[in-house]
């Protein structure tokens, strides 16, 4: 009896909180299950807030040779061929405002570009990530003096109350920004329209893949517009309630092999 044709041509997967567990390692059975899905001719596309530079180790372990969406939707590229489909950057005037607000509220700020990551300070948690997972960033005295090459994204890290205040301030100034919570303690800021969902739409059009043959797996509020693009949305068990309510399927949490479970359900029928 011939094997049944897969329902999907492409599955988009978020990284932190989804494919990676809470310690930033691949979640249980994820790599072997992804390879089984690929063997059926289905494209696995990484969609993440991270920049290209911080993904090198992950791409090596995945043997990743396809397009990915990085910087929260501001960057679409193929790390294997070097082809860049799109890159959107923050305006200098907006970046300067973000830097000054972060200084005022004593928040940790990383400016991301596909080839670099810069900050004026860091903390113990991120120094540990750098040591364990090969993150690379440069500590500079003054971020305002480094904007000749504009960043694709700003990552603000700190207490949720301060992040909410900054979001309210920037929203009230009607700037050309997309501001989205990436976790309970971080905020991603990209150029207006640079979102995971919009980037996925562009990539699907470029690859000539129908929306009806796509799925996405994610865990946080910045994955919601990606859920609106695909046929089937899968929220992780560790997702906020709002994300789970927007999904078609709820998977186990990232520390319990949720991605492998979801891929088995979507594709492998296990």
Question: pLDDT at position 134, please?
Answer: 59
Do 232 and 249 touch, CB atoms closer than 8 A?
Answer: yes
Convert the pLDDT of each residue in 59-73 to its tens digit. Answer: 999 999 999 999 999
| Residue 185 and residue 199 in one domain | no
Do 67 and 78 touch, CB atoms closer than 8 A?
Answer: yes
Structure tokens at 214: 């796509």
Beta pairing class for 10-13 and 43-46 = parallel
Say yes or no to pLDDT of 51 above 70: yes
Convert the pLDDT of each residue in 6-46 to its tens digit. Answer: 799 999 999 999 999 998 899 999 999 999 999 999 999 99
120 secondary structure, DSSP code: S
- Domain with 53 in it: 10-87+195-268
**Number of folded domains that form the chain:** 2
Q: 176, 191, 206: which is the final residue of a domain? A: 191
* Residue 4 located in a structural domain: no
Q: Which residues contact 85 (CB under 8 A, 6 or more apart)?
A: 67, 76, 77, 78, 202, 203, 206
CA distances from 192 to 73, 88, 177, 230, 263 (A): 10, 9, 4, 21, 32
| Residue 100 and residue 185 in one domain | yes
Question: pLDDT at position 148, please?
Answer: 92
Say yes or no to pLDDT of 3 above 60: no
| Residue 174 and residue 97 in one domain | yes
Convert the pLDDT of each residue in 191-227 to its tens digit. Answer: 999 999 999 999 999 999 999 999 999 999 999 999 9
Phi, psi at residue 220, to the nearest 5°?
Answer: -135, 180
Q: Which residue has the tokens 């994955």?
A: 223
Which CATH number covers residue 133? 3.30.1240.10
Number of Cβ within 10 Å of residue 88's Cβ equals 20
* Residue 66 located in a structural domain: yes
Collapsed DSSP state (helix, strand, coil) of residue 109: strand
Say yes or no to pLDDT of 133 above 70: no
* Residue 2 located in a structural domain: no
| Residue 39 and residue 65 in one domain | yes
Question: pLDDT at position 121, please?
Answer: 87
| Residue 96 and residue 184 in one domain | yes
Convert the pLDDT of each residue in 160-199 to its tens digit. Answer: 999 999 999 999 998 999 999 888 888 999 999 999 999 9
Beta pairing class for 10-13 and 68-70 = unpaired
* Residue 258 located in a structural domain: yes
């Amino acid at each position: 009896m011939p094997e049944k044709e897969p329902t999907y041509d492409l599955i988009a997967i978020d990284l932190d909180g989804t494919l990676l567990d809470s310690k930033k390692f691949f979640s249980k059975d994820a790599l072997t299950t992804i390879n089984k899905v690929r063997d059926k001719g289905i494209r696995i596309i990484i969609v993440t807030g991270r920049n290209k530079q911080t993904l090198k180790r992950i791409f090596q372990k995945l043997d990743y040779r396809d397009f990915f969406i990085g910087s929260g939707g501001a960057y679409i590229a193929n790390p294997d061929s070097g082809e860049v489909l799109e890159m959107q950057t923050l305006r200098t005037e907006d970046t300067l405002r973000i830097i000054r607000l972060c200084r005022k509220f004593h928040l940790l700020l990383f400016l991301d570009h596909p080839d670099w990551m810069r900050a004026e300070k860091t903390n113990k948690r991120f120094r540990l990530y750098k040591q364990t997972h090969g993150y690379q960033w440069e500590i500079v005295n003054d971020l305002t003096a480094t904007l000749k090459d504009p960043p694709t994204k700003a990552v603000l890290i700190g207490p949720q109350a301060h992040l909410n205040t900054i979001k309210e301030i920037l929203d009230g100034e009607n700037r050309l920004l997309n501001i989205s919570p990436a976790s309970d303690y971080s905020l991603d800021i990209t150029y207006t329209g640079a979102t995971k969902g919009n980037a996925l739409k562009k990539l699907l059009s470029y690859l000539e893949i129908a929306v009806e043959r796509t799925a996405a797996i994610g865990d946080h509020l910045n994955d919601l517009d990606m859920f609106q693009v695909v046929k089937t949305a899968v929220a992780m068990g560790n997702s906020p309630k709002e994300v789970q309510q927007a999904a078609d399927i709820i998977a186990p949490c990232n520390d319990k092999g949720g991605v492998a479970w979801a891929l088995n359900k979507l594709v492998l029928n296990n």
